[in-house]
Chains A and B, each alone.
Chain A
Amino acid sequence: MTELSKTGAALGEPAPGNAPDAFLAVRDLKVHFPTDDGLVKSVDGLSFQVEKGKTLCIVGESGSGKSVTSLAIMGLHRLGAQGKHVQMSGEIWLDGKELVSADPDEVRRLRGREMAMIFQDPLSAMHPYYTIGNQIVEAHRVHNDVSKKVARKRAIEMLDRVGIPEPDKRVDGYPHEFSGGMRQRAMIAMALVNNPELLIADEPTTALDVTVQAQILDLIRDLQKEFGSAVVLITHDLGVVAEIADDVLVMYGGRCVERGSVDDVFERPQHPYTWGLLGSMPRIDRETSERLIPVKGQPPSLINVPSGCAFHPRCPYADIPKGDVTRTVRPELQQVGGGHFSACHLSPEDRTRIWTEEIAPKL
């Protein structure tokens, strides 16, 4: 607990238990799933905040805990057969309400109204037997006591708003009759039908054609401006991050390893894992003859997370700090600039030297 309050203080946030100023604030969130093989620590002490009108991108490899984080905010990980075994602690504050300790039914009433979610694969995320219109109407009527006719008008209005041509006809179409991009637009229309103040998008462009990806990102950005909502976007695509993010949170092994503004993270990254992600991103301004630099090794097991710094088995610089500190002591987030945090044992001098001399020239 002392560790936690230290980090909290370092982050310049109010003490735990008190409502934060930020619209969405997550504090020391832990989401663990007991399985036959052991306790899966999908999220293990994560803190961040998002203001209204801002976009936070959470990046990381598959299995780094990004999706579980988004489901946890929505309260969705607790539902279903698997859900009752979940162990969860920490705080999630949405507009002054704490959600982890809240009554599940209260969280349900917030879902779809104050916070909404867009999923990765719009084909499987929509019910195959109901028309697009019916699904949007249902989303609207859960939280609004209106007639089907009114809700349908609202659905057509939303489809029009997200750029679906002939919305009064397409409203009666089934998901399989839409193209991938149109389906994701419809999904966005469904999520935004109740004007939510928080929009969570879990890899919204991953399943889409590259040409459509930019359109969808533009749409999300435009709608965010229009509605002034806070957006949390989960992705593993740094191209998407550069396009849309205000702030970036890099996750590794269920924890945050670096957090800062998009400029901080792209221009002055302070963590070897972030360097690895940047090195493995294709860039149009780079010579085609240059090879991408992959992050060597495998993502860590969430059951047996490596001791010390979870990244140390894959980190090329793990031997620079003196002693075996990288293998025994878990690094905490430390402020490395205004609003820029990193959890790394390397000294600030080493980090600056490695970044400017070794990494940056290769990018």
Chain B
Amino acid sequence: MISYILRRTFAAVILLLVVTAVTFAIFFLLPRMAGQTADQLAQQYIGKSPTKADIAAVKQNLGLDEPLYAQYWHFIKGIVSGATYNLGPTTAHCDAPCFGYSFKNHVAVWPQLTSRLPVTVSLAAGAAVMWLVSGVVIGVISALKPRSFFDRTFMGVALAGVSLPMFFTGNLALLLFTYQWPIFGRTYVPFTENPAQWANTLFPAWCSLALLYSAIYARLTRSGMLETMNEDFIRTARAKGLRERNVVARHGLRAALTPIITVFGMDLGLLLGGAVITETVFSLPGIGQYAVQGITDNDLPPILGVTLLAAFFVVIANLLVDLLYAAADPRVRLS
């Protein structure tokens, strides 16, 4: 078990290195391949109409004139031991782990990520609880009475839930419950400051996000339960004389929910890397919004940083899911 975790952790580190290489290549190799010169890259970091000398200086400061592998090496070194950027007249130090430095806003990327992470975690965790509970409950009831009125109604709502984009449901929720009838707050307040206000502001975002996901989870649970309730071991449980609700809860749900762990872990991991659209719609200052800002500003380091953070969460979620699954299903051996 311990050796398995160690091996998986080692593999995760390797995987993340590969992810940095690929991401780095996308941001710095692809523009070169598309014919952009180092000069043009450097120009992005200076104000309007720069002189030749300015460009050359920036190029040198940022290391854009170095070969790509050297640039990549600097980047990796920065994550481990920090980096110092020469900004011409001044220098900026970026402490380890340094995930780059935004030259547009003159701030290091990592502190930005850590300060925004609680927002994204708040959004993802709250929504996850909501969609998991509602999705599973609806799924189970639907599976126990397939093709009933309840089943058809909720599977219809579920279909709408998956189909409606966040631009629509999110904005509708905002319009109705934040502006028309101002029940919910507009600006994010950290949990540590005021938990009630925190929940109050996040609630519409949670609901909108949960609607999207609970639809998927209701369908997953429903099909899983329908399959499980036809298994032989369910018949055995009934043959023991168990009450039907115990048959469903102890034997049916236990087996049907285990595969959902996998999907849930992956979804949560993905969301922690930034719920881009939800954060934008609800003006939540999270990771996703940071990425959008970086893209709009054509600011590469924040985008690179967010991409790596997202990859990190997905890899970690994957590892946790495998460990959890082994704990939930005794037939799975970790070796």
- Chain A: residues with CB nearer than 8 A to chain B? 74, 76, 79-81, 108-113, 116-117, 119, 121, 124-130, 138-139, 142-143, 174, 176, 190-191
Contacts and interface: CB of A to CB of B under 8 A. Distances in A.
Given A119-B239, A129-B254, A174-B330, 13 more contacts: A81-B144, A81-B146, A108-B241, A108-B242, A110-B241, A112-B239, A112-B240, A113-B241, A125-B235, A128-B233, A128-B330, A138-B240, A142-B240
A284 to B, nearest CB: 33
A121 B232 contact: yes
A119 to B, nearest CB: 6
A111 B233 CA distance: 15
A129 B241 contact: no
B331 interface: yes
Contacts of B241: 108-113, 142-143
A137 B17 CA distance: 50
A126 B254 contact: no
Contacts, number: 76
17 contacts: A76-B238, A108-B243, A111-B239, A111-B240, A113-B241, A121-B232, A125-B236, A126-B236, A127-B236, A128-B330, A129-B258, A129-B328, A129-B329, A129-B330, A142-B241, A142-B242, A176-B331
A7 B243 CA distance: 38
B237 interface: yes
B329 A128 contact: yes
Interface string B145-183: 010000000000000000000000000000000000000
A143 B234 CA distance: 18
B255 interface: yes
A195 to B, nearest CB: 14
Nearest to A82: B230
Interface of B: 144, 146, 226, 229-244, 250-251, 254-255, 258, 328-331
B244 to A, nearest CB: 7
Contact of B239 (A81, A109, A116, A124): A116
A111 B330 contact: no
Specify the main secondary structure of chain B where it touches its partner. helix
Contact of B237 (A74, A113, A127, A128): A127
Which of B144, B230, B232, B258 neighbours the largest number of chain A CB atoms within 10 Å of its CB? B232
A76 B235 contact: yes
A79 B226 CA distance: 14
Contacts of A110: 241
A343 to B, nearest CB: 31
A117 B237 CA distance: 11
Nearest to B231: A124
B334 to A, nearest CB: 15
Which of A109, A121, A129 neighbours the largest number of chain B CB atoms within 10 Å of its CB? A129
Contacts of A117: 239
Contacts of A130: 254
Contacts of A129: 254-255, 258, 328-330
B54 to A, nearest CB: 67
Contacts of A139: 240
B229 A80 contact: yes
B94 to A, nearest CB: 49
Which of B238, B241, B258 neighbours the largest number of chain A CB atoms within 10 Å of its CB? B241
A109 B242 CA distance: 8
Given A111-B240, A113-B241, A117-B239, A128 B229 contact: no
A171 to B, nearest CB: 14
A130 B237 CA distance: 12
Contacts of A142: 240-242
Given A174-B330, A174-B331, A176-B331, A125 B240 contact: no
Contacts of B236: 119, 125-127, 190
B233 A127 contact: yes
Which of A111, A116, A127, A174 neighbours the largest number of chain B CB atoms within 10 Å of its CB? A127
